[in-house]
Amino acid sequence: MKSNKPTKTKKAMKTMKKFLSMAALALVGAVMTGCSNDDEIIETPQQPVNSQNVETLTTTVGFDKVAETRALTSGGVKTFAAGDQLALVYKNKSGQTVKTLSTALPSGDYGSSATFTFELVDADKTKDVTYIYPASMAKADGTVNYDALNSQNGTLATLSSTLDLATYTHAWDGASLPTGTLVNPLVVCALTLKNSDGSSTITSGLTQVTVSDGSNTYTVAPTSGTFGEAIIYVAIRPVTAALQYTATDGTKNYTKTATSREYAAGNFYNLGLMMVEPVPALNLTNPAVGQVIGDDGKNYNYASKPSGVTAVAKICYVSGSIGLALALADEGELDWSTAMTTCAAHTPAFTGGTWKLATQEEWENMISTAGSHTDLRDGFSSVGGTNMQLGRYWSSSEVDSESAWLYYFGNGQGYSIDDYKDSGYFVRACLAW
């Protein structure tokens, strides 16, 4: 009897075998997919994947042959040398700033251009790149390190060897690094410093000079002693400002504020400056009659005055916080109006004290404190000033529009008299505080 179950034909059996074969392959594939990379067997060698996109690129750069700050050395244009490195600053595709250094230039002779090699990681070629030479002048964050400008020695040789900075910023040249000309971004000032009236140059005798633009201060000190050259060279950052200069020779201090102007990068400025001595603040400690006031604003016993200090006035009257000192220098014989002007302009000036022509009452107070006009006269001679001559000295006290009071020394006496303002009499400036 035949079975009621359907029988498998050969064709059906072939279909089943084919299905099983495909299922088996699928199962093997699933097992292989679940394995770790360590278990993979790659029969065909494949190229390694550069997941960070590291590229080795070169660029050729040169020095500016025109800008004077590129020719600080006596030989002219700056040249490259074996061992030189260039810093490259770029953006990666994560937006981070990256600084990388070139390989050092190998041994060889180089001129004003050279080719440098870099390795860049995942560089964003839509952003500009910046070159900084020498590489040591580039900070870790890719900015220029200007710290070396803070302390200089004033010589051109030092500027050319340690501060001959050069930079270049440009867009990518397609997929290649840009080539270009490095330009010095600094300003070089050649300073010739003179005294206040311009009659003599004080540059070579100075021990320190500082230059300030209000935000940055550059200190320049000679390698030893004083500056040996007539010109002091200072490198500064570009700025539009009124530069402030201070200088000292160890005894006197000088200042100068120049007119505001633009100091542009890559330029060389020859600056002749007439410096002025700053006004010292009066620093009187227990002032006493008979002491002298120095050009540093302090009071001294004449015998113990420091050798570097010049006595400019003698203290002749003190009452509480009020004092009077007569100038040791005699202004000569002048009419009354000229005497008033001359005393007000007497130098050196002092902060906290004013030069003027003494009033008649102040003359009398000085004579009274000194004991006699003879004591006052002899006291001036003892401290190196000219004697109070036996004569007439103007006061600032007026009698009327035509006459003024003066103080008379003579015949062992001293008293007030008056005379016409157009008369010529002796003048001594009085410093009052």
Residue type, 319: S
Q: What is the CATH number of domain 187-274?
A: 2.60.40
> In the structure encoding, which two tokens stand for residue 360, read together?
């008649």
| DSSP structural state of residue 46 | -
Q: Is the pLDDT confidence value at 3 over 80?
A: no
Can you tell me the distance from the alpha carbon of 241 to that of 258, in angstroms, rounded to the nearest whole number?
9
- How much is the pTM? 0.60
Query: What is the mean pLDDT of the segment spanning 302-328?
Result: 93
Average pLDDT value over all residues in the chain: 85
pLDDT of residue 325: 96
Q: Is the pLDDT confidence value at 272 over 50?
A: yes
Q: Is the pLDDT confidence value at 344 over 50?
A: yes
Residues 342 and 427: beta-carbon distance below 8 Å: yes
For strands 54-63 and 180-182, give the pairing.
parallel
Residues 280 and 255: beta-carbon distance below 8 Å: no
pLDDT of residue 407: 93
pLDDT tens digits, residue range 182-238? Answer: 988 899 999 999 998 899 999 999 999 999 999 999 999 999 889 988 899 999 999
Q: Is the pLDDT confidence value at 21 over 70?
A: no
Q: What is the DSSP track for 303-362?
A: GG--TT--EEEEEEEEETTEEEEEESS---EE-HHHHHHHHHT-SS-BBTBEEEEPPHHH
Query: What is the mean pLDDT of the segment spanning 21-31?
Result: 36
The better pLDDT of the pair 301, 252 is held by: 301
Q: Is the pLDDT confidence value at 9 over 70?
A: no
Q: Is the pLDDT confidence value at 405 over 90?
A: yes
Q: Which residue has the tokens 């070169």?
A: 58
> In the structure encoding, which two tokens stand for residue 388, read together?
């109070």
Q: What is the CATH number of domain 292-432?
A: 3.10.100
Query: What is the mean pLDDT of the segment spanning 65-88?
Result: 73
What band does 252 get if pLDDT is binned at 50, 70 and 90?
Answer: confident
Query: What is the mean pLDDT of the segment spanning 383-396?
Result: 85
Tally Cβ neighbours within 10 Å of residue 114.
21
What band does 72 get if pLDDT is binned at 50, 70 and 90?
Answer: low
Strand order in the sheet with 333-334: 333-334, 425-426, 392-398, 403-410, 413-420
> In the structure encoding, which two tokens stand for residue 349, read together?
């000036």
pLDDT of residue 34: 42
Q: What proportions of the chain, in percent to the nearest 5, are helix, strand and coil?
A: 20, 35, 45
pLDDT of residue 394: 97
Distances (CA, A) of 202 to 191, 274, 277, 416: 11, 10, 12, 46
Q: Is the pLDDT confidence value at 73 over 60?
A: no
Query: What is the mean pLDDT of the segment spanning 91-108?
Result: 96
pLDDT of residue 20: 35
pLDDT of residue 51: 54
Residue partners of 125: CB distance under 8 A and separation at least 6: 172, 174, 175
